[in-house]
Amino acid sequence: MSTVNGALDYVPEEQAKLMGEAMEGVPPHKRKTNLVFQHPALFTMMNLFDNIGFGLTMKEEPRSKIKKYVTWMLEIINLTAYENKRINQTGCYNRSGGYICR
């Protein structure tokens, strides 16, 4: 898993494949994977909307796609009223929703 995610740049013994595609020679930032930390952290300098859309922003997805996705996620967890609030201005429940959406 570390090889696929990019923690290791080399393949120790066997060839690492992701959905049948060899990862050897593919730079870590080009591998279509996500890394989830055991203790999910949200960026305190960003609002809830930007935190949820962070991964898509890093993948350089179009703004329209990011807005559509994040708005949809906020509606699902009923947090649209908090989209412009910074993480330190939200309660524990709202942060948990941010973790899930991200």
Q: For residue 35, what pLDDT is reported?
A: 60
71 or 35, greater pLDDT: 71
Q: Residue 14's pLDDT is what? A: 61
Average pLDDT of span 13-23: 69
Which tops the pLDDT comparison, 31 or 50? 50
pLDDT of residue 1: 47
- CA neighbor of 46 nearest in space, from 94, 84, 101, 93: 84
pLDDT tens sequence across 55-81: 899 989 999 999 999 999 999 888 898
pTM above 0.95, yes or no: no
| Phi and psi at residue 43, to the nearest 5° | -75, 120
